Structure 1
């Protein structure tokens, strides 16, 4: 970070130059599932990994950003379907070789880290690699992949407007840039018809065999089960281990993507994946750790890194769903960075949250001051108070709640940076 302080600078020229010096490792990968989208791409990546590992396949996985430790971005596959986060020594060695190959030339941190992805994944054998786009698609550093087994485009909404455009159809056009001529495309659930139209039109123009959620495949809950349907038939599955109704569509996109990539899919494989899938920091229940001592007795605590209005809506829906099953007052502990739309995020919680505590975030210069963030929550119709730490927020909630009422439900979120802070402070980083 000290060597390459530049932020986003979307281009493929620098990464191509660097990869050429490294011997073009991106052309020596196992079959690639390439995933883009504003929301849901991390979840669909987790589902794809679970579906493939349920078959005993070795699966490399690249995700971003990390929550606590840099090496979380790289999961190295192994036979038997139990991949591990990259060893620190292997990561450090790959990073050193990439830096030497770059020779001090201008480049971004993400481009360096993407080159590390290709180096690690090309040198360690695996059956498949799942590679998540960092930002956008067309000019994202991962988009040097020439022949993905399948490209997956997840829900598109407004985010990173200075880089991708201020209308969903412009953002959709950038995400569609990962589609490759004649190769399969899976289009996940799209809230905006204009985004879906851009994606379908692009796939048709490029001659890509494509399927669309809600048209060619779908999933819904029925009698406490997940029913998946596509042109090949139905599957009756357990509800996904990842909570929230939005995960039904994410699971469906993953099942269809794994099929489109040419890998086997049976009901038994899908069933195993639904019950084993994991994705830290996304509606993750905190049940132990150092921070729990500051919370009210019996409190239900969730952390989630969703940070834009689209994410706010699905998280709020999930919280409302929990409320239906077990009534608890909802409190928010929120930190956000200044490239986001805090009022749009908070608005989703206006009718269900009792109080918002806004907190600072470590590790980024872009954090919104808690006082400013509290005003944004107020503008969205919420009662809000700035505090100095998450622990202080939990203590404030403990003092505020009525012990005669059900223990509260607490959602800590608004930024993946904040989730990383919380998991580090709690002593429960991703494994």
Structure 2
């Protein structure tokens, strides 16, 4: 890639400040950053719009929504992957860790079958064919409350771009679903269970946790080390759970459910990630701690779009308003997530970094995306 582009007269979002200036892109990298409002011949006049690093998404369920757009409807995977890729580019995400569950529940009525290995292979084939607009890594969600975690995670290796492994434990009555009524509403709404089927479902999951949970947790930690992937916890609720996370070598906590857990995470130097929908909606759909509360308590480090890709940029701007610091707000979706997964080549507007950038303006406080560049090429 040799094309040269100058984005001039922009409000540059740097790690610690925003300032008016220009950024030059060449060969897929940022080659120069300068201050001022001048627009050189041939440059793109950004008219004061924000230019930020492209966003780094660590946990999104969006691909699963594309491969199964309705319950029982399986969409062709290649088409689903490319549609997912294009959607993320169109929201300003330039690096994504695609979440795929490993660990199935074998009972037919549970509807949690194995799919990750096949989907990952198709993703990697499309990447090799240069069919994708943005940078994709794998995020394996290791479900310890399952029958088949060891078998499924063993099918992955170092060549699979597994950058993140999260320890998921959805045993009813703890973590995300301490309130069984919240789980009941979710499961009945998603799977159409009646009361008898729901009670059977709960009993079976608890049996799985008792039978396999400790073994699966150990094997998932070992697999993350084998892949060279970052290990994350999920839905920590108590300080004791955070102590266990720290003992595993975890440095990233996805969606802690209480202030207690978030405080404990920071005490152990574990970065706290919360969901953008939680922040935008003003609270958790599961009744857990609000992301805004953690932000106001200085306990929020990273934001994930979770299940709404378009919420990521909105949430960063929202945090900029809450903290009175737009650079800090955008940092939660750029350099902070990149640093958490040890990607040192992106997430900052600096010479030598990847030319992954977005352009946006604010319309009554709402960000309107006006361009996305990945490795210096316009992708949205």
Under a length normalisation based on structure 1, what TM-score does the superposition of the two structures give? 0.27
Higher strand share: 2
